[in-house]
Every structure is written in C-alpha cells, then in structure tokens.
Amino acid sequence: MDDFLIGERLDDKYLIERLLGQGGMGAVYKATHLGTTRAVAIKIIHRQLSSNQEFVERFRREAEASGRLRHPNVVDVTDFGFARTRSGPVAYLVMEYLDG
C-alpha cells in the first residue's frame, strides 16, 4: 500500500490526496472530506489485514474508543468504515489532520 490510492474517493466522502506515512499495519493519508472540504488524516489498514475479521474488530474497537476521547493532546477520531478501492476492500479510520 502506498501511492496507488492517491486520487481515489473513499465511500464518496473522502478524496485521498497524499501519503503521510506507512508502517506494518497500513498507511496514513491526507484527504479532504468532500462535504465540508475539511482536511483529514485517514488510516487505512493493509488489504490482507482487512480480510482478518479478528483484526478488523480490534481496529473498530480502537476507532470507537478513540472517538470517545476528548483531550487537547489527542487527535479526534471522526469516522470508521469499510470501502471498496481499486485494489479491493479496506477498513479505514478518519482523524483530524494536524499539519506538521
């Protein structure tokens, strides 16, 4: 997973703009929320992990728990979902984008 998602729309809500970083679980992209034009960061887990139901459930719980946190030193989690991409289905987590 790297630059091939750039230019793709996730769930007709987010436009992927650029890769911010990647690791063993997946990658984080800068994107725009199409309804509000707000910049967001989207964590997309690797396709192989997206097919592992146990891992996806842990990822969903992470999104749910993170979405309840409100602290000035923790980014807000605003969305979680599954989307079809050119390379197959993926699970994703949307967070506020912090420049820098």
Q: What is the pLDDT of residues 14-59, one digit of tens each?
A: 999 999 999 988 999 999 999 999 999 999 988 888 888 898 888 8
* Percentage of residues of the chain with pLDDT beyond 90: 48
> Cα angle at 1 between 9 and 21, to 5 degrees?
90
Q: Would the pLDDT of 1 be above 60?
A: no
pTM of the model: 0.87
Predicted local distance difference test score (pLDDT) of residue 70: 86
Contact 60, 43 (CB under 8 A): no
Q: SS3 breakdown of the chain: % helix, strand, coil, rounded to 5?
A: 25, 45, 35
Domains annotated on the chain, with CATH: 3-96 (3.30.200.20)
d(Cα 62, Cα 80) in Å, to the nearest integer?
Answer: 10
